[in-house]
Amino acid sequence: MKYTNLPNTKIKVSKICLGTMTFGRQNTEAEGHSQIDYALEQGINFIDTAEMYPVPSQEPTYGHTEKIIGTWLKKSGKREDIVLATKIAGANRGLPFIREDLGFNSKTINESVDKSLSRLQTDHIDLYQLHWPERKVNFFGQRGFTVQEDAWEDNFQSVLGTLAELIQKGKIRQVGVSNETPWGLMRFLEESKKHNLPKIATIQNPYSLVNRSFESTLFEVCYREKVGLLAYSPLGFGILSGKYLLEVQDPKARLNLFPQFARYNSQSTREASKRYSEIAHDSGLTLTEMALAFVQRQSFVTSTIIGATSMAQLKENIATTAVSLSDSVIAEIEKVQNRFPDPAP
């Protein structure tokens, strides 16, 4: 396993992070515990979750993922062996069962942290992230631009101030954002510089062979400001595993179970994945190996978040740390990218 530090910190994390959004819905508690055990055996020390997990989020299962991680922590006694990241859910997703007020303010952030700490059965969170902007912005594959008036008022400074207080209390160690825009990330960074407030260490956004929009939107910000990318959906909800190219498909596969996740389920995305699969096959690789190796080789990626519903998938995903891509493979990948530019933004 390879390691790095969360940018501007002394927190060492594995270059692969175990994503857990299936725990509590597609995976049982026992399966979740087995995944964590195996990940640690392979050198992974970084686990990511969120208060709204499992996904799709619904009231009967809300918070179950954190609870499963919490029971593992209590049973194993290995809290100091892992770097634990979680997220506060924000507005614009229609999740009233989480909190009546889904805005980011002192009350909601403190409430969210305390409930996550309770579910996780720990006294601190290593990386606390804002799951998506409060503002009405384009995200999750939305194209086009429409001026969207909302009641949001600029609160970057006050949000960072609240997070600073939580750091002082020892409840969280570092802060990050997720599904954020270049403007939003720069505003957080601007306020941290102006007022000596916590600096955003990481941004958790999608990045994969079928979604490289980070390169043209957020890369320069992260490079110049030293913010690390935690790349999620590196296999595009499994579209880059090759399983959706099979004539007979598993009805329990995520895109078959949850067809509403259309972002990765378009005809152009499937066509691109077919072309990438051909490149991988010609190079003696599986599509999974090539797709994950591509993400892991990027200098701006601090850690690649992998998720699996079976141990076989988890083992294959982790094993990709040993895969290197040749210049010729990269050249072929670029040809497909030029033909199908970011079909799943």
Active site members: 53
CA distances from 60 to 20, 53, 130 (A): 17, 11, 23
3-state secondary structure 36-70: HHHHHHCCCCEEECCCCCCCCCCHHHCCHHHHHHH
Q: Token match 């490289």: residue? A: 212
Q: Which of 134, 182, 129 is nearest to 155 (CA)?
A: 134
Residues in the chain: 345
DSSP 128-157: EEE-S-SS----TT--S------S----HH
Strand, coil or helix: what is 12?
strand
Separation between Cα atoms, residue 73 and residue 229, nearest integer Å: 26
321 neighbors 42 (Cβ within 8 angstroms): no
The amino acid present at 136, given as its one-letter code, is: K
